[in-house]
Structure 1
């Protein structure tokens, strides 16, 4: 197998590898900088064939080029843009837009550890309302995602909406190549299935077949996980029947929708995302259900690197403040007086956002964490003091001074 790429490696004389983000059965994912797009971050997905025989590589490139052309045509704000596909020597890459944010599996983990409860029914309904149009969009173009799970849905900091990542369509073509490689007996058809056990429907796991309703099944499982805080294996009994109602109580309306999405036989499920969307929208407009944006009341703490290796991005300060307001008041007045008031800092939100954008170009996705951590620890900090602290966070002294000049604070 081809070795892992080291940080600083240049691909195609353009994409500079920053770090490894993840590794799986299909290859590796790297965070990279596009040196021809003002240092913008992007994601390089490398698909690593175990067999590097020339016929296999030729077939790989042919199929990847065909699939990359399809994916390149996708243009939806909640789908990372497929920027390019390329080969270098024996390596095959797809270049994608980098989404700054956190996966819903990470958000769920934070919920369970901090608030001791999973997502509410209203939040999950809104989550479905946000994602179903995305599925409708790709299904209309004869594309099936094949790998929907909370790991592959991210809350975009920029959009404050869920973004669908890591399409399995390219993985499917890749495994078809391996499955057809008779010289390698370890690559059987069964081993070429794309998707996650527990999330993927029976027809996908058992036979490698996928339909639009297969994505709806995986979306339904993901909704159950967010509602219950339990992994799929804990929600399935020994006969592989879903047993989730003892963990969470939701409306009969949502229960009926989820049960139909999770039907074992594809013909018994909803056949399109539009069907589910119409039901949810009609009930919402009639006042039967209340929905709230799924990103509200989500508080992120902990290490600046999340469980899957992506740099963590905290939520905007406005979201954090709204979350604090929604909580019960502190009974101890002495402790309450210790909390900073809303307007104790003289820093304007516009300046904070400007600092965030500029700092990102110097330290990358960790900028949001550094900025929020500094503000949390120093609620009375002035703009000048904030800049000085941020300069210290930039390892290169020369670049630190360049950052300071960019902010161009007036002298007093």
Structure 2
């Protein structure tokens, strides 16, 4: 299989129209264009760009007189992966996957299976496009489109855990890709954060189809158990796969993104703990993830479309963004937005208090009462809440506090002792003492739901000098019962 060269001036393929230059890092890749990477696994030395043979081992550097490697990426269980360029296609960057026949007896079968799947899936913008597949000097090569960006594991290592809204956004973009391959009877078998690429335009792509398989194919006689321990579904580890197997792996991936915790590699667990990780998640959302993680595949969602339908019952990300960007002429939220973007939570909390006084028409009095709380406009409170959630990655906000309140309400009555328990969880009550305002934590290290505190100040203590205290319970409970997020 070969690829025909394209005229550079008329090059309008998928890569140039949709592939952003983000990390994998193409700026570094372009600086590598002046070198050629030896493809001999025992050598891997760098050579001058115009060299035709490795100056160390003598290995030929060009594949089919057109593809050359410029950077070694990684070694998998059955292959080596390189970044390469196609000199007959304007030095288009590509992915070179090498299956060594001398190491893997079934290398050609493995490579052919992956190539056949990519070819069958066709030119999809969220899946690598197959460019070529051939045998060269006793080694099998697969050439595919290089999808650039950071994988979700890299993003998580840099930024920590993902917020609920971020994860829902990713799922809404990734699930249609899974539905696409499942409808074509392809099971990926290796869904995990490192195989999901997050692009600069915030789209996502699914890569590495090396473990993928057709549900019914000519390769069934050679179908070794595949998948990554900790992510693979129980039935997958026993040699059985279904679309629900990929959905289980997606559930594990979701759990990892939300908690920042790697799944256990030693085996499958049916105890995916949320509360102990101090998460404030929507109950309906946790139910969706719990169903994805069911040990028995029959108890899970049976298609990606079913998961999308379940997610549609939650507030869509597009609606949140629309609310966040809504320009209310009567109230200006720009100052709050700017302070939250700077993570200046202390000033943001004070601005929030002033906004709420304005919404309650209590600026002159400088305090709230129960009547004012009951009359607060929900639409504007949603904007304030979404701004806090958006810029704190779902750590702070009224709805975050309400979810914690609801979880406690299911286990105990929220009398004064229950109120203390709630305050202890959000960090307002510590070592059997109520904190005063100056003792609050205005950083990202504060407990989930710690901020904002201003709304529950029914008996205002005068701005920054006011105290957090048990007397706030009445106002807070009135607010929690009133709001619907």
What range is the shorter-chain TM-score in? 0.5 to 0.7
Tell whether the 8 Å contact from 2:187 to 2:242 is kept in structure 1 after alignment: yes
SS in structure 1 opposite 2:276?
Answer: coil
Structure 1 residue 213: Cα displacement: 0.5
User: Within 5 A, what are the aligned runs for 1:195-274?
Assistant: 195-205=227-237, 207-233=238-264, 241-247=271-277, 248-274=279-305
Structure 1 residue 73: Cα displacement: 3.2
TM norm structure 1: 0.60
Select the residue among 120, 124, 141 that pairs with 1:73.
Answer: 120
Tell whether the 8 Å contact from 1:6 to 1:17 is kept in structure 2 after alignment: no
User: Within 5 A, what are the aligned runs for 1:147-186?
Assistant: 147-157=190-200, 159-169=201-211
Tell whether the 8 Å contact from 2:152 to 2:198 is kept in structure 1 after alignment: yes
Distance 1:239 1:220 in 2: 13
Aligned to 1:43: 95
More displaced stretch, 159-168 vs 253-262: 159-168
Select the residue among 326, 329, 332 that pairs with 2:341.
Answer: 326
TM norm structure 2: 0.51
Which is higher, the Rg of structure 1 or of structure 2? 2
Distance 1:229 1:262 in 2: 17
Structure 1 residue 3: Cα displacement: 3.2
Structure 1 residue 244: Cα displacement: 3.5
SS in structure 2 opposite 1:92?
Answer: strand
The C-alpha deviation readout for 1:35-84, integer Å capped at 9, x for no partner, is: 111011111111234556xxx56xx5466446523311322211121212
More displaced stretch, 274-283 vs 212-221: 274-283
The C-alpha deviation readout for 1:368-391, integer Å capped at 9, x for no partner, is: xxxxxxxxxxxxxxxxxxxxxxxx
Structure 1 residue 279: Cα displacement: 1.6
The C-alpha deviation readout for 1:343-371, integer Å capped at 9, x for no partner, is: xxxxxxxxxxxxxxxxxxxxxxxxxxxxx
Indicate how the Cα distance of structure 1 residues 30 and 171 shifts in structure 2: closer, same or farther if over 3 A, else same: farther
Higher relative contact order (CA 8 A, sep 6+): 1
Tell whether the 8 Å contact from 2:134 to 2:140 is kept in structure 1 after alignment: yes
Structure 1 residue 18: Cα displacement: 0.7
Tell whether the 8 Å contact from 1:172 to 1:194 is kept in structure 2 after alignment: no
Structure 1 residue 28: Cα displacement: 0.7
Tell whether the 8 Å contact from 2:150 to 2:197 is kept in structure 1 after alignment: yes
Q: Does 1:83 align with 2:131?
A: yes
SS in structure 2 opposite 1:125?
Answer: helix
Taking only aligned residues, the RMSD between alpha carbons, in angstroms, comes to: 3.4
Q: Does 1:194 align with 2:226?
A: yes
Aligned to 1:135: 178
Select the residue among 248, 263, 283 that pairs with 2:314.
Answer: 283
The C-alpha deviation readout for 1:284-315, integer Å capped at 9, x for no partner, is: 35x9x96569xxxxxxxxxxxxxxxxxxxxxx
Select the residue among 101, 104, 108 that pairs with 2:149.
Answer: 101
Indicate how the Cα distance of structure 1 residues 152 and 330 shifts in structure 2: closer, same or farther if over 3 A, else same: same
The number of aligned residues is: 277
Distance 1:237 1:12 in 2: 44
Structure 1 residue 282: Cα displacement: 3.6
Distance 2:183 2:220 in 1: 28
Distance 1:253 1:22 in 2: 39
Q: Which runs of 5+ in 2 are unaligned?
A: 1-39, 48-60, 323-336, 348-485
Indicate how the Cα distance of structure 1 residues 219 and 156 shifts in structure 2: closer, same or farther if over 3 A, else same: same
SS in structure 2 opposite 1:122?
Answer: helix
Aligned to 2:405: none
